[in-house]
Amino acid sequence: MSNGSIRTILPLATITAASMLTMDLYLPAVPAMQRDLGITVAQGQLTIAIFLLGLAASQLVWGEMLHRIGPRRCVQTGLLVLILTSFGCALAPDLTMLLGLRLVQGIAAGAATVVVPTVVRATLPEQDGVRGIAAIAMIEAIVPAAGPVLGTALLLIADWRTTFAIIGVIALVTAPFALRATPLALPGTEEEAGRVGYRALLRNWHFVGLALAHSLSFGALIAFVASAPQVLPAIAGTGQSGFALAQVCGVAGFIVAASQAGRISSRLGPRHAIQLGALLHGLLCTALCIAWWSASLSFPLVLGFWAAFCAVLGVRGPTAFSEALAVPQAQLGRASAVMVLALLAAGAVATQATAPFLPTGQLGAVALTMTVLSWASYALVARYPVKQASVRQTAG
């Protein structure tokens, strides 16, 4: 990867991390916040849900604004609001104020999820773009694993309000570097009447097919992550430490594989890398189902499965995201927004679809959900979506 590409990717990765910390660094502080404000557990959980609502709702807005005001102004606006709301949350006197600030904070955090992959894909050479998106994905894997640990350690010396203050400081420090790395405008984004907008984007089968396939694989990932704290302790026989160990194995597998995503995609070709990844996911999940129903499932086997699943996603995910963004330059921001929104929706649906069966089905219900989602994802890419002829013409 060239030095110029690194100078673009690293600052953008920092604002991605800052945006994610608004969720992951805060999670351990929720019980302390509940006690301090004198609220119930349900009300405390609402501060998480309303942040996610703002994050999801903002995706299409940021996707449109990126092309209207440019990526740098989007990042500038998002970071400014993120900084103000973070310090505001640290000073919030009651739940009502905190909920309002968390909603706006979620909207602000959405700027990074849309702008960062768009800038990486639009401004870097193709293979550096895959590596860049892989680097961002590694940050997105590390922060959910490390954030709660750091947040827990922070509570030993400070209160929950300090958590938000630190997030504000991190965003403030990283802002100048991120703004310097973000272009004023994306190259070649002159819009042509009748060829841009979300309606035109959703008529592009190459984009829609890859976006749906990637979202289904992400839904399978979230189905396991969301259910693991409920089902792994019984299998591991070690309490919640079994879930923590599974997370370490999964994150490690993902990071190792994602670091090689650009090289593997270059050697196999993006099409074959995505197809092979989807096939391996289907086979891995099917094997997990068979092991469960044959009563031969053990905790080491689950750890091996999870590390392998995440490793495959570490190669397939960045390649699929980059390939899905092979749309006209004037559509890049919208495409990135739709991709992230689809990922969030797939994760939410998969979690809720699995939840009712956990008390009785345990890991079998999770394995079956993952298997269905993985094979559906493979079906979408088995006949690789053909790029529309107009994509490259319009981009030019």
Q: Which of 294, 323, 304, 296 is nearest to 381 (CA)?
A: 323
Token code pair at residue 265: 């995609």
Residues 129-175 pLDDT 10s = 677 777 777 776 677 667 777 888 888 899 999 999 999 999 999 99
Examine the pLDDT at 393 and tell me if it is beyond 60: no
Examine the pLDDT at 270 and tell me if it is beyond 90: no
Residues 295-317 pLDDT 10s = 888 889 999 999 999 999 988 88
Question: What architecture does CATH give domain 198-385?
Answer: Up-down Bundle (1.20)
Radius of gyration, CA atoms only, the chain: 21
Examine the pLDDT at 289 and tell me if it is beyond 80: yes
Q: For residue 372, what pLDDT band results from cuts at 50, 70 and 90?
A: very high
Region(s) of the chain under CATH 1.20.1250.20: 3-180, 198-385
Q: Which of 308, 285, 121, 129 is nearest to 219 (CA)?
A: 285
First to last CA, the chain: 25
Examine the pLDDT at 255 and tell me if it is beyond 60: yes
Query: Which of helix, strand or coil describes residue 55?
Result: helix
Per-residue pLDDT, 145: 66
Q: Which of 258, 41, 54 is nearest to 138 (CA)?
A: 258
CA distance 367 to 393: 43
| Planar angle of CA 79, 83, 88, nearest 5 degrees | 145
Residues 58-108 pLDDT 10s = 988 998 888 889 999 999 999 999 999 999 999 999 999 999 999 999 999
Examine the pLDDT at 23 and tell me if it is beyond 50: yes
Please report where in the chains the tokens 């802002």 appear, as a residue: 175
Per-residue pLDDT, 299: 87
Helix residue ranges per DSSP H, the chain? 3-24, 30-37, 41-69, 71-91, 95-123, 126-154, 160-181, 198-201, 205-236, 241-258, 261-268, 270-293, 299-324, 332-354, 358-361, 363-382, 389-395
Per-residue pLDDT, 392: 40
One-letter amino acid for residue 128 of the chain: D
CA distance 322 to 325: 5
Region 3-180: CATH code: 1.20.1250.20
Examine the pLDDT at 7 and tell me if it is beyond 50: yes
Examine the pLDDT at 115 and tell me if it is beyond 50: yes
- In this structure, what is the dihedral angle of CA atoms 188, 193, 196, 198, given to the nearest 10 degrees? 160
CA distance 137 to 218: 12
The stretch 242-266 carries a mean pLDDT of 82
Per-residue pLDDT, 195: 57
Residues 32-52 pLDDT 10s = 898 999 988 778 878 888 898
Cβ contacts of residue 371 below 8 Å, gap of 6+? 282, 285, 286, 288, 289
Per-residue pLDDT, 171: 93
Per-residue pLDDT, 111: 92
Residues 228-241 pLDDT 10s = 766 777 776 665 56
Per-residue pLDDT, 8: 76
pTM of the entire structure? Answer: 0.76
